[in-house]
Structure 1
Amino acid sequence: MTESDAAPLCPHCAKPEILCVCDAVEPVDNKVALLILQHPQEQDRLLGTARLAVRGLKNAQLKIGLSWPSLSKVLGREADPSQWAVLHLGAAHAKDLPRDREVVVLDKKGEALPEQDKALNGLKGIVIFDGSWAQAKTLWWRNPWVLKAKRLALNPKKPSLYGNLRREPRREALSTIEAAALSLSRLENRPEIETALLKDFAAMLDKYRAALASGAVTPPEPTRKAGPPRRRTRKPSSAS
């Protein structure tokens, strides 16, 4: 960022004015609640989307921290984690998920449950971790109550709208707002949720690209978010 470093930030999306799209956001009345848990070290205020996702939904919260004793404590009201789901792919691979489903319920081994529609029925809310893969893993292990919730994984048919603005460790990786849009729209069978949230995201990206072109912002250093550990394979012998 250049001259906009000293610019006041929007109280809703925490972005400088040249990147803020809050005035055009029309919040959607979602029935399935959204809770975003943001790692304290997630500081991508230019391209981050957690606050924009909460801005675009009437039933959504953002909490920043590492651990909470229970879902009820983080929500500030009584809640049964067994009626919620946590979005966490973990060590599972999208290629192993059912190809005909974009939102998949996993068992404790990271495998897709056989009766998907039944497992998804009646969910009252979803939890999304906001941060790098390593930060999401930290949030998962620091909050034991998530193990009482259902575990979801996404297998999106389309790549992230980020395009070449931000590199991701996996093809199926999405921004937080895209993950929320895909999850909620499929759970509620309401494509208008995804349409509305992606419209806001695309508008923000348009502003970011315009700011890049004008020199109002400078692109971040080309870093890659930490992905899941890769298995080491032994180099085959060259002996004949």
Structure 2
Amino acid sequence: MSEIITTPPTEDIPECPECGKPQPLCICDSLAPVENTVEVLILQHPQEQDRLLGTARLTALQLTNATLKIGLSWSSLSKALGREVDPAGWAILYLGSAKVADLETDRDVVAIDRKGGLEHAQNAILNNIEGVVVLDGTWSQAKALWWRNPWMLKCQRVILGPKSLSLYGKLRREPRSDGLSTIEAVSLLLARLEKRPQIADALLGAFERMLAKYREGVKAHPELLPKPKPKRDWRRGRKPARRRQG
């Protein structure tokens, strides 16, 4: 079963206790369980708990073999999972500068070495992956998770080369053209590793319903939208200009 860490509601509109989203945006009643053989561990940065557009909880809820943990660091992969595992059998969705488009391959899931080059025997490596670690957060938050958990260096690095842009569209900006939501990344990974395209169909279907519910929900409940941040006064804290003498 998936492990979900819940947080108490903070708005007048009640939250779903499962997905953590405001009730008008919840799609839990339409989720069909997806049985996955390759285990998924989603590590979410504490500041990334986006109730409206985040997909980490949704992903963990739909998969039967997934764990979502919120935090900054764990002493080992075993500690994060709560049981003994060998990280050598796991892969991590790597966030370095390497891009599939720069490599001589037509694959959309690629195993790379520490220098960002193609690993030899791609099929053998990908076919033997027992589980995958996915970092959930902004680009800087995900990098913070990477640097604070040195055990990740023991995992096989994989990168994605999606054939299409994220379904987020203009709802959320991605720092790179190959950037995906967590649920999109996991759907692509599992579909390729398990050779079961129906996994991607189910997860992406849920994501599409979530986005549709969001567009409808914020129209009916504009109070759900995040409040704009106040403009920063660039003059605050600025030292007064020194008068020229003469």
Give the TM-score normalised by the residue count of structure 2: 0.85
User: Where does structure 1 differ by over 6 angstroms across 4 or more consecutive aligned residues?
Assistant: none
1:63 aligns with 2:64: no
201, 205, 212: which one aligns with 2:218: 212
- C-alpha distance in 2 between matches for 1:18 and 1:83: 40
Aligned residues: 220
Shift of residue 182, structure 1, vs aligned partner = 0.5
Choose between structure 1 and 2 for higher RCO, CA contacts under 8 A separated by at least 6 residues.
1
Aligned to 2:83: 77
SS in 2 for 1:67: coil
**What do residues 95-126 of structure 1 show as CA deviations (whole Å, max 9, x unaligned)?**
21344111111100112213211111211100
Shift of residue 45, structure 1, vs aligned partner = 1.1
134, 153, 172: which one aligns with 1:166: 172
The one-letter code matched in structure 2 to 1:93 is K
Shift of residue 212, structure 1, vs aligned partner = 3.1
Distance 1:218 1:33, change over 3 A: same
**What do residues 150-179 of structure 1 show as CA deviations (whole Å, max 9, x unaligned)?**
001010001111111111111110000100
- C-alpha distance in 2 between matches for 1:176 and 1:182: 10
The one-letter code matched in structure 2 to 1:106 is I
**What do residues 126-158 of structure 1 show as CA deviations (whole Å, max 9, x unaligned)?**
000000111111111111111111001010001
SS in 1 for 2:47: coil
1:22 aligns with 2:25: no
Aligned 8 A contact 2:95 2:143 in 1: no
Shift of residue 202, structure 1, vs aligned partner = 0.5
Distance 1:164 1:209, change over 3 A: same
Aligned pairs for 1:132-211 (under 5 A) are: 132-211=138-217
The one-letter code matched in structure 1 to 2:134 is I
The one-letter code matched in structure 1 to 2:189 is S
Q: Unpaired segments of 5 or more residues in structure 1?
A: 224-240
- C-alpha distance in 2 between matches for 1:199 and 1:99: 28
- C-alpha distance in 1 between matches for 2:27 and 2:53: 13
Q: Unpaired segments of 5 or more residues in structure 2?
A: 1-9, 230-246
Aligned 8 A contact 1:50 1:62 in 2: yes
The one-letter code matched in structure 1 to 2:22 is P
- C-alpha distance in 2 between matches for 1:97 and 1:25: 37
Aligned to 2:37: 31
What is the percentage of aligned positions where both structures have the same residue? Answer: 57
**What do residues 54-95 of structure 1 show as CA deviations (whole Å, max 9, x unaligned)?**
011000000011111111111011100000000013121342
- C-alpha distance in 2 between matches for 1:98 and 1:222: 44
Shift of residue 217, structure 1, vs aligned partner = 4.9
